[in-house]
Amino acid sequence: LDDGGRRQAEVMATALAELDPVLLVSSDLARARETAAFLEKATGLTAEEDPRLREYDVGARTGLTREEFAERLGADAALAWDVHAHVEAPGAETLEEVAERIVPATREVLARLGPGETAVLVMHGAALRIALAGVLGWPVSTADTLEAMANCGWAVLVEHGIGRLRLSSYNISAESTPPD
């Protein structure tokens, strides 16, 4: 995280600590772990690392700029470039492969909660949308119809009845105003 990202993480952690979470689970990748450290400080919880919460593997696109991607894979491939969504590239995980790991990981966290308890999962934007679609019972292909998550933004799922989840808020950040 750069200085701006650390400031965002600190503000986000303070806001989410007010929800009194009982469980904190994070992707094991560096940016997520650094973000989770702010939540650990604000909540007193220790984050559990789960590699299944990682961002999807973008294969041949890994580490490339749009221009480098176009140079290697052709201009047509670069037309599909979307840093915030799944893009087909050689060696990249498919939506289904990401869903096969991230949806069960998310459901396992939810299953550990008692009535009225809150968990915070620290993960990555595109993978987060796949997790949301999966746990809400939406077709995984609808994940790309959700707007990209802001840095240090969050979504809120609320249980309505036994095992029935609703998306209560999406892309909230400490700087935004939650919907009524």
**How far is residue 108's CA from residue 97's CA, in Å, rounded to a whole number?**
17
Residue with tokens 């990209």: 148
**Structure confidence by residue, pLDDT tens digits, 97-115:** 999 999 999 999 999 999 9
Nearest 5°: phi and psi at 169? -145, 150
* pTM, rounded to two decimals: 0.86
Mean pLDDT, the chain, as a whole number?
88
**How far is residue 140's CA from residue 55's CA, in Å, rounded to a whole number?**
15
- Specify the amino acid at residue 96: E
Please, which pLDDT band fits residue 91 given cuts at 50, 70 and 90? confident
